[in-house]
Structure 1
């Protein structure tokens, strides 16, 4: 639980820093999946498009994290900037879950 008595900059840092790290982690995992696996239910074009969007988001997250660190945690990120990353991760998680489900189902003969 967060301490409501923290100074605003410390509260921001305690929330935003782990959030950016989570985005980085999950986008890295998504990139690895999309680069190393053939996702049978996605066309090659759709898989390439999703990978390109993930790589773009990785660059955006990296830039936001660099700015956050360069300012000593004094810069916030608008919710409007975070929401597309969140939606993209939700899409990646759905693809990953479906892919894992497909892998665990034995082929019908």
Structure 2
């Protein structure tokens, strides 16, 4: 017999999963927008122009995918989840944004 913490009656596991997914999607959205803003202020000495363009393309594509996932989530009549194959590249992209931010700070760039 396993232990499971009490869940409020009004919050089923599906509802909790949906709330968690919503929060995660919001976080991704914020970081993707932050990445685009950082790229707008990123000097070539921090990241070469060709790498900036690649990162920007990935961020723009990820925003489109995220928008589609968010729309599907809102339209779904039941709570839903996303596969790790979908989330993993977004997570890697978020890490790229963190790394860009850290590199800009190391180079003394005032962050927006």
Matched residue, 1:99: 104
93-102 vs 37-46, which moves further: 37-46
Are positions 1:20 and 2:36 aligned together? no
Pick 1 or 2: higher relative contact order, CA cutoff 8 A, min separation 6: 2
Q: TM-score, normalised by structure 1?
A: 0.83
- Which 5+ residue runs of structure 2 have no aligned equivalent? none
Aligned CA-pair RMSD: 1.8
| Number of residue equivalences | 102
Are positions 1:71 and 2:79 aligned together? no
2:36–2:59: 8 Å Cα contact kept in structure 1?
Answer: yes
Any residues of structure 2 matched to 1:32-71 within 5 Å, and which?
Answer: 32-71=37-76
**4+ residue runs over 3 A deviation:** none
Q: TM-score, normalised by structure 2?
A: 0.81
Matched residue, 1:107: none
